[in-house]
Structure 1
Amino acid sequence: MEQQITKKKYKGSVNEERMIVCQHFFNSLRYIKELTTMKISVFLFILFFQTIAYCQELAVVNNIVGRDKISLNGNWQILIDPYENGFYDYRLKESQSGYFLNEKPKTKQGLIEYDFVKSDYLNVPGDWNSQREKLELYEGTVWYQKNFDYPLKKDKRLFLYFGACNYYSIVYLNGKKLGEHEGGFTPFCFEVTGKVNSKENNVVVKVDNKRRADGVPTTNTDWYNYGGITRDVYVAETSENFIQDYKLNLTNGDFKTIHISVKLNKPESKNIKLLIPELKISKELAANSNGEASLSINSKPILWSPENPKLYDVYLVKDTDTLKDRIGFRTIETKGQDILLNGKSIYLKGISIHEEIPQRAGRANGPEDAKLLLGWAKELGCNYVRLAHYPHNEAMLKMADEMGLMVWSEIPVYWTIHYEDQNVLKKAKDQLNAMVTQNKNRASIIIWSMANETPVSDDRNNFIKSLCDYTRSLDNTRLLSAALEISHKENDTNILDDPLGEYLDVLGCNEYLGWYEGKPEDALTKTWKTIYNKPMVISEFGGGALYGFHGEKDERFTEEYQEYLYVNQLAMLDKIPFLKGISPWILVDFKSPRRQLHGIQDGWNRKGLLSDRGFKKKAWFTLNKYYKHKK
């Protein structure tokens, strides 16, 4: 039975294949009557997890940018549905005739109480809050609808791909449900082979951004809950058995050997060609019966660094499929209390960034937005950015590669999520998996972050330890961190001994001396200790200032107060021997409904060094000068 499941060749779509494979599992239950209890347990364990693994691997399409595709970006018709009438009937059961059918009356007496054609529209990618004033604070369901044609080709598979939708999505094609996705910042796709017509296809997406107690993140955050299809949408085309995943990297301490691993979507013994023209590499990789191949190649690439962000054009070829990527080669590791890039000690001169463009007060997406935000970071003097508090769009990571900015990338395990809930843990792992899978070939990413400001408890410790173990199983070539808080204080000493530090490579720490506690000058007498022989990064510090509001340095929310806070903070931080980087909070003012002070905040977190229009505050120049002289 086990061999039948793993070796059988299926010709249907991914969803059809998933149903067939899973049906094998349930059909197999009739065989267990003849087995002992122990054998039953082992049999079911192996069979179930092989079945699930097979179903999951069929659903993955990586490096969407490098594949043949058409864009579905642009105007989508919408219906705003706060009561979810388009999904539930009046008995609150899932409707069989909901908005996803996109029906039209068949006669003059026909009763259809919605019409996408006559409705409003929104631009995709984009959030709904910044595009329509009436949706500025809306949390609920919006239905999106778009028609498209597709030039069908023989022997090709098709996938409907979404870069991200916040937060919970259900996708329909031509009136049939494709599937669901939870998570507001990670890509997902559905196979639509055999379901797409050459003309007049109709895709409908139910997007629901209501905050959820059992979500990741949970209901309480300090950023804006932008709803909508916030990243690119594509129909992507592949061969019958395509290159599903790949990774190219150096091993720490070895600058002359490139390791490559490749995985096909289905088990098949097949050769895959690797080309890196600039390094004169042209190699054949022989995939095994599982569709996996790996190879180590002697080479000596120019190492990627902030000073010289060298990238190489890389091609992977299988049959008629060619995938192109631009990849840099570097190593990142720790040694005692040092962080080593390419074997040399570095100091992370950084800033934290939200995925938001201030001038239009909406979600950032695409190369132009990435160039603006990361260009400001470079102008500030940064060699590193913390992309908070969720996985940012793919363009940000690729632009960081090009511009030479090291990256801290994290998932939104934030504040008080349900650490005791195994289902929430699975959601966090799903987001980790998506983040790592999409971005593991980006040289810029040096740190995967597990969490931000989480309260210490046994449940929380076990939860995040599990995330650490899982991330290392996905990618052991980068450092792990989490933004912790000061564990406790003794007189004028801050002590970082959070038990989570045992599982991290780099200790992150958020502290707000001079803003949420004490006065800015208190930093001058503060000392720091840790029980770990590991490097620390101050992942956040800062204070708020309204651009153009001036006064004495002891007056809250003036530019002078923020500047004075930075001066004292930087003097304190210079005295911490195990400190190897900082990413102050934050590059630009960002929207947050938590911030209600009229005339000052007005729904904005004002801790940015730039205003909500991109104007520099006085503290910008203080940090810029510091970075110019910091080695």
Structure 2
Amino acid sequence: MRNQKFFLLFFALLFLKEVYAQAPLITAVPARKTVSLNGRWQYIVDPYETGFYDYRFKERRENDREAYWNTDVQANKTDRKEHGYVDKYSLNVPGDWNSQAPQFLYYEGTVWYKKSFDYQKSSATNRVFLYFDAVNYRADVYLNGKKLGAHIGGFTPFDFEIPDSVLKAKNNFLVVKVDNKRGAEEVPTVNTDWWNYGGITRDVSLIEVPRAFVQDYSIHLKKPTAGGKPSTKNAAVEGWVKMNGQATGNVTVEIPELKLKKAFAVADSVVRFEMVLPSVQLWSPENPKLYEVIISTTADKVEDKIGFRTVEAFGKKVLLNGEPVFMRGISVHGEIAQQVRRAYSKEDARQLFSEAKELGCNMVRLAHYPHDENMTRMADSLGFLVWSEIPVYWTIDFGNKEVYRKAEKQLTEMITRDRNRASIIIWSVGNETPISPVRTDFMHNLISAAKALDDTRMVSAALEVNYNSGKNLNLIDDPLGQYVDLVAFNEYLGWYGGLPSNCRTTNWGTPYDKPLFISETGAGAKAGFHADSMTIFSEEYQEWYYKEQTAMLQRMPENFVGISPWVLADFRSPKRNNPVFQEGWNRKGLFSNEGKKKKAFYVLKAYYEQMRNKRQKK
């Protein structure tokens, strides 16, 4: 019944009107036959959107010669062309435009990207999809003068099937209108505390598949009884395979290392299956074991690396494979501070995880939006637990049905892409959203949608704190707490209120009989600025803050299961305008924007070593 609800929800979302991607999302793209369209793309900056609207501000017709999605080549010398793409104006894809030229630093608006390419299908009957891992924020996509579709959402993937009548063997003219303007009816909304990097920020590729192909799949350990441990012998695995196109015959699921190969008949587009693994090593941070899994039909084959584990909130604990786990986390932005740009590559992921590992982390909160697939796949291989989040951030328009639709679509795309990543244990539906009945309904509906899409993980959000409950007790009694699996909250005691010494008499609690997690805490410091511990923005103040915080954590209630302080590294934010200490940077990083460790780094590292040693002794 749950699977039926999931697919009804999935297909309903696919046919929502106007701006969403026209093709169902293809998963496991790194495992497929692809052709990269990364590299240099020509561009036109269009702040007035002249290439999209005519002088009456009406959307241009498809064959309008002045539409920027149409050719810029003159038919003859009398053919007036008022736009053009040249190599002099080109940008790297993937990449944000802000970091590639000084004039783009604060630019918010429309940029047209153009790429020419040749493509010859390997079989005339095959289908070709154009896949984007992310474009911030709205993308309108045109190929050879024909609109393939549009997508809204700056951090989730989308794709379009290219009709045979449109794709050419030579000189394809691909144009993407990218618009990163913030909007009151968008997700996120106009007010955020991070840089609004615009552009085609992640990989672009062509995917060639057979007429009937494996579009999506899920494979995971079957949940044991609540609070139970999964077996490593004769372990039950369940899942499904979603076919696209008129498939016949069998779907085969194979795990070569376990000498397991099972065929399942294709009765309709969704093939559900159960198998028993004769033996299995469970995935964990200490042993991030991944198995090669091959899903195939007579025409198609997809290979993936999948870890098998279970996770649940049970009573006052978070159980990973039936054992309590303490999350030694850190919050991470998808940014490479030293180069002041959006992160997107394997090398970027390796840098961020290397810094987290040096800190002693076993967990990362990927804030405040879905990070690129390199991050989640690398977390699988390195053994990091992951909190993955959509950008329902601060005060969006909770009473607006269209805004909800955009949020749920981003949630669907995040879960669809990453549901087979063992590292992800928490789907988060938002951060610091102000309490009201309409907001709670909005967030509750997102939680329900997440559970319908994937009931194998915890669902949470960073909740609000009641600082007026009395007797030095701060209470996390946000009404959303009754719906989440993990009660998570952000606190900045000693930075946004009082001094770090206030931690000595402060206690934390929640009326919900659930695990308790600190999803943010931190203080700002300009690397290299040294003073006494009372001087704000000094490394010594930040160090004092963390000393008081980690001492306070020793008094946390028994349901305290971890923390992800804010933040791994300094990051760009237009909200941070102190001309001496910030200069457009949020300085709460434990690493500076030059990659240097601040004094607070060593305080948190020592605490994490203590917690790791404490667990090992149990």
Match 2:319 to one of 336, 340, 363: 340
Matched, 1:178 2:178: no
Q: CA deviation at 1:291?
A: 4.0
**Aligned positions of 1:170-569 closer than 5 A:** 170-194=140-164, 195-253=166-224, 254-255=230-231, 256-266=235-245, 268-489=247-468, 490-569=470-549
Q: CA deviation at 1:113?
A: 1.1
8 Å Cα contact 2:21-2:159 kept in structure 1: no
User: Structure 1: which amino acid aligns with 2:160?
Assistant: F
Match 2:95 to one of 126, 150, 165: 126
- CA distance in 2 between counterparts of 1:545 and 1:408 reads 25
The structure carrying a bigger helix percent of its residues is: 1
Q: CA deviation at 1:108?
A: 1.9
Equivalent in the alignment of 2:5: none
- CA distance in 2 between counterparts of 1:128 and 1:367 reads 20
8 Å Cα contact 2:288-2:307 kept in structure 1: yes
8 Å Cα contact 1:248-1:259 kept in structure 2: yes
Equivalent in the alignment of 1:161: 131
- CA distance in 1 between counterparts of 2:270 and 2:472 reads 59
Task: Extract unaligned runs of 5+ from structure 1.
Answer: 1-44
- CA distance in 2 between counterparts of 1:56 and 1:392 reads 19
- CA distance in 2 between counterparts of 1:565 and 1:126 reads 36
Gap change, CA 1:435 and 1:51, over 3 Å in 2: closer
Q: CA deviation at 1:229?
A: 0.1
Equivalent in the alignment of 1:602: 583
Q: CA deviation at 1:118?
A: 5.3
Q: CA deviation at 1:58?
A: 4.9
Q: CA deviation at 1:275?
A: 1.3
Q: CA deviation at 1:75?
A: 0.2
The percent of aligned pairs where both chains have the same amino acid is 49
- CA distance in 2 between counterparts of 1:477 and 1:53 reads 27
Equivalent in the alignment of 1:68: 33
8 Å Cα contact 2:336-2:343 kept in structure 1: yes
Gap change, CA 1:56 and 1:151, over 3 Å in 2: closer
8 Å Cα contact 1:285-1:295 kept in structure 2: no
8 Å Cα contact 2:21-2:150 kept in structure 1: no
TM-score (norm 2): 0.93
User: Structure 2: which amino acid aligns with 1:591?
Assistant: R
- CA distance in 2 between counterparts of 1:559 and 1:118 reads 46
Cα deviation digits, residues 457-501 of structure 1 (max 9, x gap) = 011000000001110000000001100121232141101111100
- CA distance in 2 between counterparts of 1:531 and 1:377 reads 32
User: Structure 1: which amino acid aligns with 2:42?
Assistant: Q
Cα deviation digits, residues 551-579 of structure 1 (max 9, x gap) = 00010000000000000011112211221
8 Å Cα contact 1:76-1:124 kept in structure 2: yes
| Of 152-161 and 555-564, the range deviating more from structure 2 | 152-161
Match 1:100 to one of 69, 81, 102: 69
Q: Stretches of 4+ moved more than 6 A in 1? A: 53-57
**Aligned positions of 1:23-42 closer than 5 A:** none
Gap change, CA 1:560 and 1:504, over 3 Å in 2: same
8 Å Cα contact 1:58-1:265 kept in structure 2: no
What SS is found at the alignment partner of 2:183? Answer: coil
- CA distance in 2 between counterparts of 1:536 and 1:304 reads 24
User: Structure 2: which amino acid aligns with 1:559?
Assistant: E
Cα deviation digits, residues 500-556 of structure 1 (max 9, x gap) = 000000011000000000100000100122101100110000100000000000100
Equivalent in the alignment of 1:113: 82
Task: Extract unaligned runs of 5+ from structure 2.
Answer: 1-7, 225-229
Gap change, CA 1:617 and 1:235, over 3 Å in 2: same
Q: CA deviation at 1:582?
A: 0.2
What SS is found at the alignment partner of 2:279? Answer: coil
User: Structure 2: which amino acid aligns with 1:179?
Assistant: G
| Of 576-585 and 247-256, the range deviating more from structure 2 | 247-256
Equivalent in the alignment of 1:3: none
- CA distance in 2 between counterparts of 1:463 and 1:162 reads 28
Cα deviation digits, residues 27-81 of structure 1 (max 9, x gap) = xxxxxxxxxxxxxxxxxx99x9699499989532111111111000000000000
8 Å Cα contact 2:260-2:277 kept in structure 1: no
- CA distance in 2 between counterparts of 1:283 and 1:292 reads 13
What SS is found at the alignment partner of 1:432? Answer: helix
- CA distance in 2 between counterparts of 1:77 and 1:456 reads 45
Equivalent in the alignment of 1:11: none
What SS is found at the alignment partner of 1:229? Answer: coil
User: Structure 2: which amino acid aligns with 1:544?
Assistant: G
8 Å Cα contact 2:463-2:488 kept in structure 1: yes
- CA distance in 2 between counterparts of 1:308 and 1:50 reads 37
8 Å Cα contact 1:268-1:291 kept in structure 2: no
Equivalent in the alignment of 1:613: 594
User: Structure 2: which amino acid aligns with 1:155?
Assistant: T
How many residue pairs were aligned? 586
8 Å Cα contact 1:269-1:290 kept in structure 2: no
User: Alpha carbon RMSD of aligned pairs, Å?
Assistant: 1.8
8 Å Cα contact 1:185-1:390 kept in structure 2: yes
TM-score (norm 1): 0.91
Matched, 1:145 2:124: no
8 Å Cα contact 1:542-1:584 kept in structure 2: yes
What SS is found at the alignment partner of 2:414? Answer: helix
- CA distance in 1 between counterparts of 2:404 and 2:595 reads 38
Gap change, CA 1:197 and 1:441, over 3 Å in 2: same
8 Å Cα contact 1:485-1:511 kept in structure 2: no
